[in-house]
Amino acid sequence: MTGHKRLTKILVMSIGCLMLMLVFSGFTSPLYPHYIGLDTAVFFTIAKGFANGKIPYAGLFDHKGPVFYLMYIIGYMTAGRMGVFLLQCVLLLADFILIEKIACLFRVKPYASILVFLALFLLTFEHGGMTEEFSMPFILIGMYYELRFLISEEEKHDPGIAFLYGVILGALVFIRMNNAIVLCALLLGIIAALIQNQQWVNILINIICGIAGLLVIVIPVCSYYYWHGALNDMVYGTFLHNLVYAKNNTHYPILSSSFLYFLILFLPAFYAMGVFWKKWKTERNRLYASLLFATALTYAMLAYTNVYLHYFMLGIPLVITAAAADGGISLAGFKEKAASRMAGKESKTMYGISFSAAALTGITAIYMLLSVLSACAPVYKTYLSDIALREYEQVQEGLSVIPEEERDSVIAYDVLATYYYHADIIPCYKYFTLQRWLTTEKINVNREFMHYVAEEHPLWVVIPTNEKNKTIHKILDAAYACKWSDEAYSYYRYQEDQT
């Protein structure tokens, strides 16, 4: 392909990414300015806080990784919500380019893999802005080099690529630990291949280079938070809190009334496992053994944890690889059927298409339909019903009682972070949202919040109007006066003369 054609292709793909994100990324798209999700509101709040001098974790707490927040911060400080949206478009373009490179490893056109990717991606990224979406280019580039080695049948692995793996894994761990599962599983396949070939020195060199790559991410991240006195907060938020959270939020009852939902989520796994098993039975090579193991491990992890839709984006790289390995959705089956008839032989395919290709077609159709239906939510809440606008206006109406000069001393109790997003204010305390939910046996966030309000006396405390917690009401009754209340929020102003 000439440089001009390549440039034209990238331009067309870029426009396609922009159009897709405009419609489907409801939480960041400029088409839906007041439509926002709980998680993305947290991420925007932290990015805005950083732009105004707040250090993540120590100044504003959440439990995603620092590299993830760095990406949000870069987008936000570039152009606010639009900056994050444009960053998503760039990441999606990178996904497409890397999927094409993976398909080329199997000597097939990338169309089937891209179509499958889109169908699964547009549903599982849940209106945009989640860690799995931001991790996808890292996963795909690491997977490309892992697959290239496994396909090559080379006995030794390039230490320079091992260094790259370390950098990628460092980035993924500091986005969200679970997002590294696919690459780690395939790395075990690579190590097994090197052990089989008795490449002990090569294994050692690769491990050293991998650790060096990992340190390229770990050292600057840890140094930054250590320098700002927030290293313990970062480690707890990124790792320890999530370990406690995972322990307390697993074993979802898959065999329940939501069985159809779970079946649809795991359909791509059944397809990928079937393709890799068939390929391994016929070819018996390390590539398909590694892919089979990676698929089983990834979906076992997904079945073990909370079955949130966006978690299942992690399985997409394996499914698109299966589509490429199997030849995907193409006319090959029909050509085979025609050739068999001309030769007077029976075709082994039904209606000119293999069973696996038919399964992939069905899965893609189901996911694409669900993706379109999911995209109706922001359209409905923004244009057809004005629900998102009413939520914004409701916050603005209550916020009007807080003078501009006092909006740097506002904190809310057990309120969604969407409140801060609509209010366009930066919380004055690190535990700014869902304090009861954030509480673990390691840190009693709820108690620390109560202590902060009782001792530090922020000027304004916002609580849900129907809040029943006796402790917060006791603190507010002692030193605060209610200045505004509606069906959603109540606003309390600190009264010095009551203390």
* 416, HSE (Cβ side, Cα atoms, 13 Å): 13
Tokens representing 75 are 């987008």
Burial class from Cβ neighbours inside 10 Å (0-12, 13-18, 19+) for residue 301 reads middle
pLDDT at 170: 98
* 156, HSE (Cβ side, Cα atoms, 13 Å): 9
The full set of domain ranges for the chain reads 3-381, 400-498
Write the pLDDT tens digit of every residue in 352-362.
Answer: 457 888 999 99
Mean pLDDT value across residues 22-33: 97
Q: How far apart are CA 485 and CA 476, in angstroms?
A: 14
Write the pLDDT tens digit of every residue in 198-253.
Answer: 999 999 999 999 999 999 999 999 999 999 999 999 999 999 988 887 666 655 55
Residue 348 has pLDDT above 60, yes or no: no
Write the pLDDT tens digit of every residue in 132-150.
Answer: 999 999 999 999 999 999 9
Distance linking the first and last C-alpha atoms of the chain:
76
Write the pLDDT tens digit of every residue in 46-56.
Answer: 999 999 999 99
Confidence of residue 347 (pLDDT cuts 50, 70, 90): very low
Confidence of residue 87 (pLDDT cuts 50, 70, 90): very high
Q: Where are the alpha helices (DSSP H) in 25-110?
A: 38-51, 66-105
Report the chain's mean pLDDT, rounded to a whole number. Answer: 92
User: Closest Cα partner for 20 from 368, 275, 284?
Assistant: 368
Residue 329 has pLDDT above 50, yes or no: no
Write the pLDDT tens digit of every residue in 406-419.
Answer: 999 999 999 999 99
Confidence of residue 480 (pLDDT cuts 50, 70, 90): very high
Q: Which residue has the higher pLDDT, 491 or 336?
A: 491
Write the pLDDT tens digit of every residue in 166-207.
Answer: 999 999 999 999 999 999 999 999 999 999 999 999 999 999
Mean pLDDT value across residues 259-268: 90
Confidence of residue 292 (pLDDT cuts 50, 70, 90): very high
Write the pLDDT tens digit of every residue in 382-398.
Answer: 999 999 999 999 999 99
For residues 131, 134, 135, 140, the Cα torsion angle rounded to the nearest 10 degrees is 150
Mean pLDDT value across residues 98-111: 94
pLDDT at 419: 98
Q: In this structure, which long-range contacts are made by residues 381-384, counting pairs with CB atoms below 8 Å and at least 24 apart in sequence?
A: 381/32, 381/35, 382/31, 382/32, 382/33, 382/34, 382/35
Mean pLDDT value across residues 75-86: 97
Write the pLDDT tens digit of every residue in 418-470.
Answer: 999 999 999 999 999 999 999 988 899 999 999 999 999 999 999 999 999 99
Mean pLDDT value across residues 37-64: 97
pLDDT at 257: 59
